Chains A and B, each alone.
Chain A
Amino acid sequence: MMERTYEKYFRQNRLPHIWCPGCGNGIVMKAIVQAVEKEKLSRDNTVIVSGIGCSSRASGYMDFDTLHTAHGRAIPFATGIKLANPELNVIVITGDGDCTAIGGNHFIHGARRNIDLTVVLFNNTIYGMTGGQASPMTPLHKKATTAPYGSVDRPFNACYLAQAAGAAYVARSTAFHVQHLTDMIADGISCEGFSFIEAIVQCPTAYGRKNKLPDPADMMKWMRDSAVMKSAWDKLPEEKKTDKFPIGLFYKHKFVEYTKAYDEVIKAAQGGNK
């Protein structure tokens, strides 16, 4: 029988968390530990690395070796950990601002290198911790404290960005589709190489209140009604795609993984394969 509690994965003395009532971050955090359980990763051999922002506080709640880095810098730190000790499983927790704004360069180069990290982007489309400023993933015309008339900055599609940059595994899910989200993360963990999973989460406090969705349940209903499985999305006529978005596996490809590629460098330098 599958154990239904996941308490051992959390630092009980660090809880309760500091996230706002109705926040979706806890759902994604639990999906990560469910994926860890599903993939049977050892807690001693798994490192959780986060940047700065609401989502990035998750590292402190999780009972692994955990690292709360500087803003946007989770991927370089994680790259160092993985390359220094390739035996470790390294999971990166990041937010939309953390990953695609200040950390944008690290994000695309992490994907390009194809180092074996699992990056979970908690996308609440806003800067939550600083109180609701626009992020590079805030949808057009949506309001933020720094976009009081609606955002005119075109948002990133982080999944397309990850794929174009060379990620080996790209998927998207939402805080509403919990089991699906868990599966996407688990598949990302099992994929050798740079895995990127965008998890859409509700932020009723900083985003919802400004954009006529102050009730977290309404935000989750929006996810339920707007998300379309990738296979169905691909067959959907263009006119029916308005206000909808695809979820599921976007892309999967086997490239040579970076730490493995470097093993060959070491072998060559030590005279192994001249």
Chain B
Amino acid sequence: MKKMRLLQGNEACAAGAIAAGVRFFGGYPITPSTEIAETMARDLPSVGGHFIQMEDEIGGMGVVLGASLAGKKVLTATSGPGFSLKQELIGYAACAEIPVVIVNVQRVGPSTGQPTSPSQGDVMQARWGTHGDHPMIALSPWTVKETFDAAVMAVNYAERFRTPVILLMDEIIGHLRENVQLPETAELNIYPRRKPVKTRAEGYEPYKPEADMVPNPADFGTGYHIHVTGLVHDYTGFPSGSPVVTEEFIDRLHKKIAIAQDEITHYDAFFMDDAEYAVVSYGGVARTAYEAVRQAREKGLKVGMIRLMTIWPFADKIIRKTADKVKAILVPELNYGQLKYEVERAAMGKCPIKLLAKYNTEIFTPTEILTAITSLKGEF
């Protein structure tokens, strides 16, 4: 029988990444993500991997991109202020199609904010905190076990789509401790590093997309002599100023994710069969929301819940379907209101969307959410 372990969210994140094949971590310590770096520093060398503490967050991002290009699966971890600093190179990774996972254990902001307090204030930063426009994949786990799974999934998506993937955690999950039973590595589906399918003699072009719209640039040191740049480039990998190449390139970056959207948009639906009202929630807040919905059911209220694991790309379809069915949706968030607008957009006016915002360093109590659910019935 597999061993139960009392594990923290941040530790589960590190364990999941290593299980998914991550062998290189670079970063800069920042609360409340630090235990990820500390766990990597301790555990990576024993599997032959490398940990490096860089001089700043930008260096932390640069070093993992270099290591990824040299063939390693890579991870970096930070919190909101560090995430802002990394954004130039997140854009670089998207443009040069370098697999990388960036963990953001959110804290209250803006600026240095409230370092040890929970928040969900970086939902929009995860999507749009970049220059130019490119798509983003962001996953937000709600349990310690799922943090392990989400780390595995994030590494797999980074490798499969050759793109930066954000693991958008919050302090509630990062510092939560739960008893978990982790799977053996052999039980996991691990997406391998993509390799060139043609030789140079056969006319290999490093940035020519395959059928899934993703290219296979060779790892450095494998004899292909490829050129990697953050400039817009053609299939050869070299910069191009052509409007046609530029348009096709940016279009492809978006479409390679869009065509797989249904597959990578994960969510749970609870009590939704006969629900007249719904709560849409994610991350640590979803735990409280679930308890509130359960209590509402005990009181005989017909309330259901959608728990989003994939934040980006956004779960338009399920939200639209939910909005078609219920009288109103409640979105509790530990911020001034961010995902609420996405829910509103996806609902397309089919039902009213009500925000329950909290941004005072404290987490929701089930009673607060239950009260908001109860008032939905009065309002809509």
Contacts and interface: CB of A to CB of B under 8 A. Distances in A.
Contacts, number: 139
A106 B62 contact: yes
Interface stretch (B103-111, B223-231, B260-268, B317-325): B223-231
A64 B221 CA distance: 9
B59 A84 contact: no
A269 to B, nearest CB: 3
B282 interface: no
Contacts of B62: 69-70, 73, 75-77, 79-80, 106
A109 B55 CA distance: 7
Contacts of A63: 225
A106 B46 CA distance: 28
A268 interface: yes
A68 to B, nearest CB: 4
Residue of B26, B65, B89 ringed by the most chain A CB atoms within 10 A: B65
Interface in B42-94: 42, 45-46, 48, 50, 52, 54-56, 58-72, 74, 88-89, 92
Interface stretch (A40-48, A124-132, A154-162): A40-48
- Classify chain B's interface size: 35 or more
B69 A81 contact: yes
Contacts of A226: none
Contact of B230 (A43, A69, A81, A266): A69
Given A63-B225, A68-B227, A105-B56, A81 B239 contact: no
Contact of A265 (B45, B65, B218, B227): B45
Contacts of B225: 43-44, 63-66
A81 B229 contact: no
Contacts of A80: 24, 26, 52, 62-70, 74
A234 to B, nearest CB: 33
Residue of B56, B60, B88, B230 ringed by the most chain A CB atoms within 10 A: B230
Interface in B324-380: none
Interface in A249-274: 262, 265-266, 268-270
B69 to A, nearest CB: 6
A84 B45 contact: no
A129 to B, nearest CB: 13
B238 interface: yes
B191 interface: no
B228 A84 contact: no
Nearest to B92: A70
Contacts of B52: 79-80, 83
A46 to B, nearest CB: 9
B221 A47 contact: yes
A269 B71 contact: no
A63 B237 CA distance: 13
A77 B24 contact: no
Contact of B59 (A43, A87, A109, A270): A109
A77 B224 contact: no
A125 B71 CA distance: 36
Given A83-B50, A105-B59, A265-B45, A77 B65 contact: yes
Contact of B221 (A70, A85, A108): A85
Given A60-B229, A87-B221, A265-B45, A76 B58 contact: yes
Contacts of A81: 66-67, 69-70, 220
B58 A73 contact: yes
A67 B69 contact: yes
Contact of A66 (B58, B59, B72, B228): B228
A88 interface: yes
B50 A85 contact: no
Nearest to A269: B45
A75 B74 CA distance: 17
A77 B63 contact: yes
Contact of B50 (A68, A106, A262): A262
A76 B48 CA distance: 21
A221 interface: no
Residue of B58, B62, B72, B231 ringed by the most chain A CB atoms within 10 A: B62
Interface string A32-69: 00000000000111010100000000011001111111
Contacts of A75: 62
A80 B26 CA distance: 8
A219 interface: no
Contacts of B72: 84-85
Interface string A71-110: 0010111111111110110000000000000000110110
A83 B55 contact: no
A108 B222 CA distance: 30
A84 B66 contact: yes
A16 B375 CA distance: 71
Contacts of B65: 69, 77, 80
Given A68-B230, A77-B66, A80-B70, 9 more contacts: A47-B70, A47-B220, A69-B92, A70-B230, A76-B63, A76-B66, A84-B23, A85-B71, A106-B58
11 contacts: A65-B225, A70-B230, A76-B58, A79-B59, A80-B52, A80-B63, A80-B64, A80-B74, A83-B63, A262-B50, A269-B42
Interface of B: 23-24, 26, 42, 45-46, 48, 50, 52, 54-56, 58-72, 74, 88-89, 92, 218, 220-231, 238-239
Interface pairs A-B: 7 shortest CB-CB: A80-B66, A76-B62, A269-B45, A84-B67, A80-B67, A77-B66, A84-B70
